[in-house]
Structure 1
Amino acid sequence: METRAGEVTVHYVEHGAGRPVLVLHGAGVDHREPEACFEPVFDALPGFRRIYPDLPGMGRTAAPDSLRGAEDVLDTLLELAGQVGGGDPYLLIGHSAGAYYAQAMATRAPAQVAGLALVCPLVPGVRDVPAHRVAVVSDDIGDDDFRGYFVIHTPEMLERYERHVAPAAALVDAAALERIGQRWEIAAAGGSAYAGPTLVVAGRLDSTVGYVGAADLLHHYPHATLAVVDDAGHALPHEQPDLLRALVGEWLERVQRSVQHGRV
């Protein structure tokens, strides 16, 4: 499916019906990665319409020259959310760079966000990033990209990488991402203005963005649950699916209570 958001034609897929859930992927991939990780979470939960867009410059969403930085991408995503949300408060989930945009969206338009979930979030001022360390090794499998992304090296994880992550590489507009990345900081990404139900999940072995910055977010969000997961890296949604399902389920329960009590 496609919709126009400003000057960008955004490609997305959706599943289910009910309250909108906008799920944003990270850099260098497309909607297929979060779709593979979060659809098992929502499959058994009625009442949610899940929307997985390709972010500009990735997947099947082109990034026109008018997108000069992350602020422009943020404007695109806010317009997209307004369209697919139909004016109702929506749930917002982001992984990695998608979580960076999600923080800014919740800060910019907090009344429109019923709940915020940040998984392995990119945050301003990334620090104390650990060296890459593999937690589970079955064999010397996969290519360098797989081995540098996953910390669980098993045939199952390799299959997930080859099916849901690697195919997106051929669709990346590297020049567009470089152009946007030169102005990647968003003034609204600090997160201090959003007080709704929040979930922050980080991998203790995340050698891409680390977990310390994610832990710092606990002080920004007054209604946040924080989980730092051992034996998980930046590919945490693949590597710890059962724990992610439980954490997201608890977050959705808090969102529902918030809605029932009129706080959203």
Structure 2
Amino acid sequence: MGSGAGRVGVHAVAHGDGRPVLVLHGAGVDHREAEACFEPALQDVDGLRRVYPDLPGMGATAAPDTMRSADDVLDVLLAFADEVTGGAAYLLVGHSAGAYFAQAMAARCPSRVAGLALVCPLLPGVRDVPEHRVVAGPGGIGDDVFRSYFVVQTPEMLERYERLVAPAAALVDQAALERIGERWALTPDSAPAYAGPTVVVAGRLDSTVGYAAAVDLLDRHPRASLAVVDDAGHALPHEQPDLLRALLTEWLARVGRSG
């Protein structure tokens, strides 16, 4: 599927029918990673239409020269959400940089967002990031990106990386990401943090964004559950799929009770 959101053609794939769920991937990949990691938790839930867009400058979504900041990306994603949801309340899921944008989208349009899930979120207040440490696997396999991304370095995780993560590298518009990255911090908004059903999941061994800033979200989001998961890094959706599925299932139950 495609969309002309904000004059930027956003490429996305979708599955199922019902209430829309927008799932936003992180930087340097495309919808395939998010789709593989989150579909197992969402595909068996009745009444959900799961939508996986490629963020600007990644996958099949271009980032024209007019896009020069994270604020521009946010505008595109908000327009995309309006178009693909038809004005209906939707769920938002984000991993890494996708979670950064998801949090801002929910704060900007809280009445449109029925629930928010933030996994290994990139946040402005990142601090106390631990050193990278491998906790499982033989070590010495894969390329440098794999070895710095995964703390579980087993052949199974390497296969997932080579199939779902690495192919996106060739599609990344590096110049666009560098241009946008110069203004990667979203303009502060006076709106309060999203107050609807929220789940925050962080890897205790996440050497990319850490977990300390994610813990801070608990005080800002009044209906947030928080899980800090040991033996998981920034690739937590790959490394702890069963636990992630359980946490998202509980979150979806809270969303359902909220109407």
With the length of structure 1 as denominator, give the TM-score of the two structures.
0.96
Partner of 2:26: 26
Query: Aligned equivalents of 1:236 and 1:53: distance in 2?
Result: 20
Which amino acid in the other structure matches residue 65 of structure 1? D
| CA separation of 1:150 and 1:190: change in aligned 2, threshold 3 A | farther
Alignment partners' CA distance in 1, 2:34 and 2:78? 19
Q: In the superposition, relative to structure 1, how do residues 124 and 206 fare at CA in structure 2: closer, same or farther (>3 Å)?
A: same
Matches of 1:42 and 1:220 in 2, distance apart?
26
State whether structure 2 residue 13 is matched by structure 1 residue 13. Answer: yes
CA deviations on 1:83-137 (whole Å, 9 max, x unpaired) are 1111111000000000000011011101000000000000112110000001102
| Contact 2:26/2:98 (8 A) holds in 1 | yes
Contact map agreement 2:70 2:180 (CA 8 A) in 1: yes
Q: Does residue 215 of structure 1 match 2:219?
A: no
Greater Cα shift, 237-246 or 122-131 = 122-131
Distance 1:99 1:190, change over 3 A: farther
Query: Following the alignment from structure 2 to structure 1, what is the Cα–Cα distance between the partners of residues 146 and 190?
Result: 31
* 1:103–1:190 CA contact under 8 A, matched in 2: no
Contact kept, 8 Å, 1:118 with 1:199, in 2: the verdict is: yes
Q: Secondary structure at the match of 2:114?
A: strand
The structural deviation recorded for 1:188 is 4.6
Q: Displacement of 1:29 after TM fit?
A: 0.2
Distance 1:187 1:88, change over 3 A: same
- The 3-state SS of whatever aligns with 1:67 is coil
1:235 matches 2:249: no
Q: Deviations over 1:180-200 (max 9, x none)?
A: 011111135798331000000
SS state of the match for residue 52, structure 2? strand
1:21-41 CA distance string (max 9 Å, x none): 000000000000010001111
Give yes or no for contact 1:103–1:191 (8 Å, CA) kept in 2.
Answer: no
Question: Aligned partner of 1:48: which letter?
Answer: L
> Is 1:132 paired with 2:132?
yes
Partner of 1:76: 76
Would the aligned equivalents of 1:56 and 1:63 in 2 still touch at CA under 8 Å?
yes
How far residue 59 of structure 1 moved from its aligned partner, in angstroms, is: 0.3
Give the length in aligned residue pairs. Answer: 259
Counterpart residue type for residue 156 of structure 1 = E
What secondary structure sits across from 1:13 in the alignment?
Answer: strand
Unmatched segments (≥5 aa) in structure 2: none
Length-normalised TM-score, structure 2: 0.98
Paired amino acid for 1:185:
A
Could you say which residue in structure 1 is the equivalent of 2:184?
Answer: 184
In structure 2, the CA distance between the partners of 1:200 and 1:233, relative to structure 1 (3 Å rule), is same
Per-residue CA distance 1:135-164 (angstroms, 9 max, x = gap): 102342111110110000111100000000
The alignment yields a C-alpha RMSD, in angstroms, of: 1.1
Q: What is the CA-CA distance between 1:7 and the residue it aligns to?
A: 1.8
Q: Distance in 2 between matches of 1:191 and 1:91?
A: 19
Distance in structure 2 (CA, Å) of the matches to 1:191 and 1:232: 32
Q: Equivalents in 2 of 1:187, 1:112: separation in Å?
A: 21
Aligned structure 1 segments of 4 or more residues deviating by more than 4 angstroms = 188-191
For residues 168-223 of structure 1, the C-alpha deviation after alignment (integer angstroms, 9 at most, x for no partner) is: 00000000000101111113579833100000000000000000000010011000
SS of the residue 1:87 aligns to: coil
Q: Which amino acid aligns with 1:251?
A: W
Contact residue 89 and residue 113 of structure 1 kept, 8 A? yes
Percentage identity across paired residues of the two chains: 72
The answer on 1:48 being equivalent to 2:48 is yes
Q: Contact 1:106–1:191 (CA<8 Å) still a contact in 2?
A: no
Unmatched tracts of structure 1, length 5 or more: 260-264
Contact 2:108-2:191 within 8 A present in 1 as well: no
- Superposition pairs of residues 92-107 of structure 1, within 5 angstroms: 92-107=92-107
